[in-house]
Structure 1
């Protein structure tokens, strides 16, 4: 098979598209012919060798990719052979998805709904799964004024759709005219470019006197995350679910108490919730069902598997919209 292999941590150009041994499914595993592999922002940090609030760095050489949609073509010992030929999707914790073939534990598999392409399915099993987790924690309701950072991203655009669906007022912040146009197309009441100075004042002016953000959802961190926190009014909540900037916002207890704002670290809650692996597959099933029913629709930006380096570079440079997916050659 061909795979994208990392031999040395560093820039995206370190990826090599090369031949690798075909994986063999072990006990409790299936082998999958990969039709679409999701690219996660965390993987760009790990590829660069960053450490911190990230999974442990893999031993090299390594094949990245935990999110896969494809067709089972072999089963390992102890696995029902009727899995062969089924279209499945998985967001397992083990890597190996940036390849034409990969293996996965059978208990991490969901069947791909017939109404979803492999690209949409892999977007929902990873990004959609996380989105539902965040939304369960944030508890958005009708009447909320919701600020969504990175609103044109994979998770952000799904949050915008959900918030509109429950009757909230939605403010989407994203970088650049193309992305703010995408946010407007999702039905956001206000789309702002957070790469422009004064974007917080644009939001305050639009809300008017006496009206404030009641819930800010941020996966960006850094200055943009701090600004989102400052826009939350008394009694509101600031929900964080990661920090793509690698600059996590940790509000002080005194600041929160003085302002009457609740900080919810959704990422910590999710890690505790799914630490034993028993609930993640249920969230994935819910996410797939939401997309299959047309209630949450992800955007997908596809790259050929051989162009994984370009996909990582585009994601790092904030040049992508929606979920980035790699497509192996047919």
Structure 2
């Protein structure tokens, strides 16, 4: 099979498409003929290695490795003792701590599989088992209503796009901020009541002109740094700032006003909120259900599997919209 392997930590160019042996499912496992593999920002950190610029919440892998932990496709082989009803089913799976997703086939256990609803394409499904579950986890920290004015920072990203859709589904007024006019237009197409380009220094003034000095009741952001600090300045007294990442700076760089409630919505805080890691699957199931009923429609940027290095470069350069996905020759649009 074709797979993308990393032999040395470093730049995206170190990702190489190679021919390797097909994996064989062990007893109790299944093999998935991969149509789509998710690319996550943490993949770029793990690729860069311990001497890279970013801190990693996951251990760095032994090399060589096939990166990636999110796959969707069709079960094409079973290990001994595996329920035969899985054979031939289209599924999505989060591989957990075991990488191997950037390949034409991956092995996992049936407890990680989610059967795909009819009509859900693999590139959307693979966005839901990782990015979708994180979105649902973040939403555990708030109960949106039509009275809310919600600001979604990086609203054209994988999580941001889903948060924007969900907030509109709940009837909230939604302000979506994205980097660049094209991305802001994509956010407007998602249904945001106001879509702004945060590369414009006056973007926050546009929000104030539309809704008031500090109008935001809930801020969703995974950016950190000065951009998050500006956004936090729009949050109303006693409003909520939910942080799920710090792509542009640490949380200490975005304190915001002293009279707002700032909460991390990932890591230990999320695990405590959902009752432990064993319940992460419940978030995946809810994300799938929200896609099935039309609440979630993931935005995706596709790259061929062999161009994983280009996908990493684009993601790191913020040149993508929505979830970044690698597609194989198995992919069915």
Q: Same fold (TM over 0.5)?
A: yes
Look up the SS of the partner of 2:208 in the other structure: helix
Deviation of 1:281 after TM superposition, in Å, equals 1.8
2:55 to 37, 52, 55: 52
Q: TM-score, normalised by structure 1?
A: 0.93
Instruction: Report Cα offsets for 1:188-220 as digits up to 9, x if no partner.
Output: 1111111122322222222235x5211111111
Deviation of 1:300 after TM superposition, in Å, equals 1.5
Q: Is the 8 A contact 1:251 1:263 kept in 2?
A: no
Structure 2 distance, partners of 1:6, 1:291, is 33
Deviation of 1:230 after TM superposition, in Å, equals 1.9
1:66 to 69, 75, 78: 69
Look up the SS of the partner of 1:214 in the other structure: strand
Structure 2 distance, partners of 1:103, 1:53, is 24
Task: Tell me what 2:79 maps to.
Answer: 76
Structure 2 distance, partners of 1:173, 1:74, is 44
Deviation of 1:277 after TM superposition, in Å, equals 4.0
| CA RMSD across the alignment | 1.9
Structure 2 distance, partners of 1:164, 1:141, is 10
Task: Tell me what 1:260 maps to.
Answer: 259
Structure 1 distance, partners of 2:259, 2:126, is 39
Q: Is the 8 A contact 1:109 1:281 kept in 2?
A: no
Q: TM-score, normalised by structure 2?
A: 0.92
Q: Is the 8 A contact 2:225 2:253 kept in 1?
A: no
Q: Is the 8 A contact 2:45 2:56 kept in 1?
A: no
Task: Tell me what 2:217 maps to.
Answer: 214
Task: Tell me what 2:329 maps to.
Answer: 329
**1:178 matched to 2:182:** yes
**1:2 matched to 2:16:** no
Pairing of 1:29-178 with structure 2 (within 5 A): 29-49=29-49, 50=52, 51-93=54-96, 94-178=98-182
Task: Tell me what 1:16 maps to.
Answer: 16
Deviation of 1:298 after TM superposition, in Å, equals 0.8
Task: Tell me what 2:200 maps to.
Answer: 196
Task: Tell me what 1:234 maps to.
Answer: 237
Bigger Cα displacement from structure 2, 11-20 vs 78-87: 78-87
Structure 2 distance, partners of 1:251, 1:96, is 35
Q: Is the 8 A contact 1:32 1:70 kept in 2?
A: yes
Deviation of 1:290 after TM superposition, in Å, equals 1.3
Instruction: Report Cα offsets for 1:104-163 as digits up to 9, x if no partner.
Output: 122111101112011111112221111111112132222111110100111101111111
Q: Is the 8 A contact 2:9 2:48 kept in 1?
A: yes
Deviation of 1:100 after TM superposition, in Å, equals 0.6
Structure 2 distance, partners of 1:62, 1:174, is 33
Structure 2 distance, partners of 1:164, 1:116, is 21
Look up the SS of the partner of 1:279 in the other structure: helix
Structure 1 distance, partners of 2:311, 2:273, is 30
Structure 1 distance, partners of 2:329, 2:140, is 37
